[in-house]
Amino acid sequence: IEIYSLHVDCKVTSRFSHTVITSKIVNRANESREATFEVELPKTAFITNFSMSVDGKVYPGIIKEKASAQKEYDTAVSRGQSAGLIKITGRKLEQFHVSVSIAAASKVTFVLMYEELLKRQLGKFELLIKVRPKQLVKHFQIDVHIFEPQGIRFLETDSTFMTNELTEALTEVQNETKAHILFKPTVDQQKINPELDETLLNGDFVVRYDVKRGATAGDIQIVNGYFVHYFAPHEMPVFPKNVIFVIDRSGSMAGRKIEQTREALLKILQDLRPEDHFNFITFNSKVVEWKSSLLQATAENVASAAGFVQTLSASGGTDINRAVLTAVSVLDKAERLPERSVSMIILLTDGQPTSGESNVEVIQENIQKAVNGKYALFCLGFGFDVSYKFLEKMALSNGGIARRIYENADAALQLQGFYQEVATPILMKIEMQYPENAVEGLTKNNFKLFFEGSEIIVSGKISNELDLLPVEIRAQSHASDLTLKEEANVKEKEQVFQNQSYIFGNFIERLWAYLTIQQLLEKSISAQEEDQKTLEAQALELSLQYSFVTPLTSMVVTKPAGQQQAELANKPTEAG
């Protein structure tokens, strides 16, 4: 089975990326063989299309409601034929895998399409393409086209498998607003060494970039009656933080995990700013406060905390409920904290609650009542024994986010990286306001906190009559209360994209749908049961309308006669 052509074509227009992967395979054997198409794509992406053509006949993937697709194909599953076509393969990726049997000398072409809105983290956007053909490919090519009307501030291409030989196959062309990256290695350049038919191409191909930002009230872009508003202020004074680290030291944390936790915390202590206040709470079945109140992050206090972190060891049960409630009460009792400051609790745990209150619903209720919107709770789940669903619901109900820490060699770096994302709050209580009578289908437009290096994105649909779209942003910064105003000229804004030949025309509408679905799904996690159904129904309707494989839809993949007739591609979620 020979892959004679593999092409990855990726177009990013104003952060929205549209990727098409085309793999062409021929069976050189003199009997039929399995041809396999295996692609790893970002978890944050939605597949929008898949097809295979065998000897000129096309077998498209069809996107349906998950529940009904499941019913239809349960018969196939009960015969033990299908394990689903998509599975999570790591911290950032999931894998799509399909195979089909083709006759001697036959050819098959696989085409997969997916889309995603790139998220700004620590000051850059990252486009990740996983490359692993497992054989030498005669025609191998990656094309990345980027168009950012705001202007490209910097751009870098990075890869885990580059050699000097391979660098020659890479070209980058860039002007003010556009970039084209082409990677086209010959068969010889792909080889590990000239004698062996083994490929070097195995790993990540990454493009990172950021855009220029001039306007204070962000940047508005409009296409076909849909708008997107990007807001990422920078160089503003940072709010002092009051942060409590709540660290699980139960028995299951023993060994590598507690070592990596110590290593990460020592680095994080170095990153605290002198005006920050902090404390540690460690817990197994007992809950221990390092100090009875928050301490200022002076050199002396940080050194003393480092000494404490080095003594962390693990044994015993897991009382998550009491540990987090203790953290809340330390913040409640805190005195002499900076007047304008941001208070947060960062929980790190690797297991289920086993000591004290162990009913997750009760814990969620207790914590939400205690936090009462005053503080942000971030939940980090270490490994796969945690109830991620529980942590995610707890974080989202209390103004924070959850993240899974993968038990790899780089776990300490993952912990540190997470801290860096939330280390510099520069705005709070951000409200993005648009004229009510002229805008509909508005995505989330008020945000508790804004961290340096990230980006706020709001999208919606504007009524036909509108010539000017006025926007007003209200927020609190460390120094003052802000009001920023901007007016976007609808006709002028639409003009920007008119002449871009390679742009898919309705991309802002698709960006709006992608963002709306993501937010509806996130909202449903912490919603009451009846609201949950409504939110999911809305997300399902959009998923079907825009043909996205989301956790609520399935793609049915059909195959030539005589082979397993249908397989389902379901999107896995971090919560399983």
The pLDDT of residue 354: 93
- Fill in the amino acid letter for 560: P
Domain ranges of the chain: 2-212+555-559, 241-423
The SS3 assignment for 397 reads helix
CA distance 43 to 574: 9
pLDDT computed for residue 80 by the predictor: 46
Same fold, 2-212+555-559 and 241-423: no
User: Residue 461 pairs with which residues in a beta bridge?
Assistant: 226, 440
Tens of pLDDT, residue by residue, the chain (576 residues): 999 999 999 999 999 999 999 999 999 999 999 999 999 999 999 999 999 999 889 999 999 999 888 887 765 555 544 457 899 988 999 999 999 999 999 999 999 999 999 999 999 999 999 999 999 999 999 999 999 999 999 999 999 999 888 999 999 999 999 999 999 999 999 999 899 899 999 999 999 999 999 868 999 999 999 999 999 998 899 999 999 999 999 999 999 999 999 999 999 999 999 999 999 999 999 999 999 999 999 999 999 999 999 999 999 999 999 999 999 999 999 988 888 999 999 999 998 999 999 999 999 999 999 999 999 999 999 999 999 999 999 999 999 999 999 999 899 999 999 999 999 999 999 999 999 899 999 999 999 999 999 999 999 999 878 999 999 999 999 999 999 999 999 999 988 887 665 556 689 999 999 999 999 999 999 999 999 999 999 999 999 999 999 999 999 998 888 777 678 899 999 887
For helices 320-333 and 360-371, the axis angle rounded to 10 degrees is: 0
Radius of gyration of the chain (CA): 25
Q: Where are the alpha helices (DSSP H) in 237-359?
A: 256-271, 299-309, 320-333
Q: Distance (Å, rounded) from C-alpha 441 to C-alpha 372?
A: 29
**What distance, in Å, lies between the first and last C-alpha atoms of the chain?**
34
Q: What is the CATH number of domain 2-212+555-559?
A: 2.60.40
Buried b (16+ CB within 10 A) or exposed e, 229-239: bbbbbeebebb
Supply the pLDDT for residue 561: 81
* Residue 16 near residue 510 (C-beta atoms within 8 A): yes
What is the reported pLDDT for 133?
Answer: 95
Distance (Å, rounded) from C-alpha 363 to C-alpha 283?
15
Measured between alpha carbons, how far is residue 489 from residues 166, 222, 379, 484, 508 in Å? 46, 9, 42, 17, 17
If one counts every other C-beta atom within 10 angstroms of the C-beta of residue 516, the result is 20
| Residue 266: strand, helix, or coil | helix
| C-alpha closest to that of 110 among 34, 53, 160 | 53
Please answer whether residues 542 and 511 qualify as being in contact, where contact means their C-beta atoms are separated by less than 8 angstroms.
Answer: no
Contact 128, 92 (CB under 8 A): yes
Provide the pLDDT for residue 438. 92
Place of tokens 């023993």: 254
User: What CATH number does the domain located at 241-423 have?
Assistant: 3.40.50.410
Q: At what angle do helices 299-309 and 256-271 cross, to 10 degrees?
A: 180
pLDDT of 75 reads 56
Residue 336: per-residue pLDDT: 84
Q: Quickly list H helices, 349-410.
A: 360-371, 388-397
Please give the Cα distance from 420 to 423 (Å, whole number): 5
